[in-house]
Structure 1
Amino acid sequence: MVNRMMWIAWPAFLAACMLELLVFAFVDPLELQWSGQALGWSRQTVYTASFFAFWLVSMVACALTTLLRITPAEVNECPFDRGQRPAGCPGESGFVS
């Protein structure tokens, strides 16, 4: 489970870093507007908020990719140890998926 979380968080972090660099190479945070009004945030606040927004969106994309990569055997695997499996658990009748 920790490995899967790292498969999601690390590439998303790198993607957020690249997006931050690309976006703010062309956009001045002090000129951002919301509904025609100046945003009124400092540069550092805009950089921080946008980085976490980019990271969140990238994590959702990476999580979806990780979810779609799961094999049917992993989905159908019984989560219990062999001695604690209930009667209907896959792999209990001698058939191992």
Structure 2
Amino acid sequence: MLKRLMWVLWPSFLVAIAMDGVLFSSFDPLELAYGGEPVFENRLAAYSVGFFVFWLFAAGSSALTCYLQSTLRKDEAGGCQPPPSA
């Protein structure tokens, strides 16, 4: 179980770092507004919230992949199995 948790959280952590860097390199978080009001008063809060939201979405994607891989039948065509050795 811990191994699967590592398979889900570690790649999603790396993806969240990259997504956070790309987003906040392009946009100033203090300029984000909703209804004419700024969403964040503090850049650090925006970076933190953005990182955890990205991490949550990436972890959900990784967890779904892990779940779907574990539910495949081994004899199913197109399953996630290595090719037989010759």
TM-score interval, normalised by the smaller of the two chains: 0.7 to 0.9
Calculate the aligned-residue CA RMSD, in Å. Answer: 1.3
Q: How does 1:18-97 map to 2 (within 5 A)?
A: 18-70=18-70, 71-72=72-73
Structure 1 residue 47, shift from structure 2 partner: 0.3
Q: TM-score, normalised by structure 1?
A: 0.70
1:27-78 per-position Cα deviation (integer Å, ceiling 9, x unaligned): 00110112232224200000000000000000000000101111436xxxxx
Structure 1 spans left out of the alignment, 5+ residues: 74-97
Q: TM-score, normalised by structure 2?
A: 0.79
Q: Per chain length, whose mean CA-contact separation is higher, i.e. which structure has more relative contact order (CA < 8 Å, sep 6+)?
A: 2
SS at match of 1:21: helix
Greater Cα radius of gyration, structure 1 or 2: 1
Structure 2 spans left out of the alignment, 5+ residues: 75-86
- Percent same amino acid at aligned positions? 37
**Alpha-carbon distance in structure 2 between the residues aligned to 1:26 and 1:13:** 20
**Alpha-carbon distance in structure 1 between the residues aligned to 2:73 and 2:60:** 22
Structure 1 segments, 4+ long, off by >6 Å, are none
